[in-house]
Amino acid sequence: MITAAGRMPYPPIEPYRSGILDTGDGHRVYWELCGNPDGIPVVFLHGGPGGGCTPAHRRLFDPARYRILLFDQRGCGRSRPHAGLDNNTTWHLVEDIERLRVLTGAERWVVFGGSWGSTLALSYAETHPERVTGLILRGIFTLRRSELLWYYQEGASWLFPDKWERFQAPIPVAERTDMMAAYRRRLTDPDRAVRVEAAVAWSLWEGETLTLRPAPTLSAQHADEAYALAFSRIENHYFVHAGWLKEGQLIRDVERIRHIPAVIVQGRYDIATPMRTAWDLHRAWPEADFHLVDDAGHAVSEPGIQTALLDATDRFAAGG
C-alpha cells in the first residue's frame, strides 16, 4: 500500500516539436513532443474521453530520459472539430496512436494511461502488443456495464446525494431511469443553450467527485463552458456506445499482453472508477505490479497517486 507522501513532479517543460495529424476523415489531432529527442519513447493517453492534455501531464516523466508524446484525442483540447462526434470511437483513437507512432519514428514505446486513458491503453496494447514495451495504468476503467451504471445511474449517488441532485436537475423525472440516454438527447440537441446546460451539469458531476478532498481547481475546469462541451459530449457518446467494446473484453483479453511489464496504480476511495475494476484486472493479470494508494481518490494530482506514477515512470526509465 502507498499513502500520500509527496513527490513533486518534474519541472515544467515546453514541447520541442508539435503538429497536427490530419486523420483523413474530418479530424485534425494536435500532438506534441517533449523532453529528450533521443530519450525513451512514451505516449501519454489522457482521460475523459474528451479531457485533453495539460502542461502538468508533461511533468510525470523525467525530461532527460524520456521522449514524451502527448496528444489531444479527437474532438477535444486543441484538436478540431471541437466536440466533434463523427468518426470518433475507441478504434479510431487506436488508429491515431499508431499513426502518431509512425509519424514520430518510435518503433516501440511505453504506454501511459489514466482513467479513460487506461481503457484506451489496454485497447491499444491488446491490438498492437508488439509495439508496447511497458504499460503504466491509473484509475482502471474498462467500460463494463456495471462500471457505467455505478457512476451514472446508481451507486455513486449514495455517496454524493447533493451533487447527484444537481446532476439530475436538467433531466425530467420521467427520463431518469436512463440518465446516460437522457443526457445524450440533450448533449446532441440543436439548441446550443440546451447542450451547454447539460454539458456543464455532466462535467461538474465528474469534476466534483474525483478527489478524496475538495479540489476547487478541478471544479473550475469542469465548469468552463468550452471544456464541458467537449468533455461531456464525447464522454457521453462513448459511454452510450459502451466504448464499442464487447462486455468484459479488455480484462478477458489480458492474455495478449501478459508478457508486457506493467504497473497498475489505484486509489482505494476512487468513486469515478471504483477499485473493483482494478482488482479484477489485478486478479486476471497478477504479473502486473499492483499499487493501491490507501488515502486517495481518482485524480492524478492526488499526492499518493502522483508519487506512485512518478516512481513507475522512473522505474521504466531505469529499465526496470
CA distances from 97 to 28, 195, 199, 245 (A): 13, 30, 27, 18
Coarse DSSP helix, strand, coil percentages of the chain, rounded to the nearest 5 percent = 45, 15, 40
Query: Reduced to 3 states, what is the DSSP secondary structure of residue 192?
Result: helix
Please pick, among 62, 96, 115, 222, the residue that the annotation labels catalytic: 115
DSSP sequence for 234-273: HHHHHHHTGGG--TTHHHHGGGGTTTS-EEEEEETT-SSS
CA distances from 199 to 39, 111, 165, 223 (A): 39, 30, 15, 9
203 is a catalytic site residue: no
Please pick, among 27, 222, 282, 298, the residue that the annotation labels catalytic: 298
Which residues fall within 8 angstroms of residue 117, CB to CB, at 6 or more apart? Answer: 44, 45, 46, 47, 138
Please pick, among 118, 270, 282, 291, the residue that the annotation labels catalytic: 270
For 19, the grid coordinates are 503538429
115 is a catalytic site residue: yes
Q: Which helix (H) or strand (E) holds 181?
A: helix 179-187
Which of 122, 101, 112 has its CA nearest to residue 317? Answer: 112
298 is a catalytic site residue: yes
Give 210's DSSP letter.
Answer: S
Which of 36, 43, 109, 104 has its CA nearest to residue 67? Answer: 36
Active-site residue list: 115, 270, 298
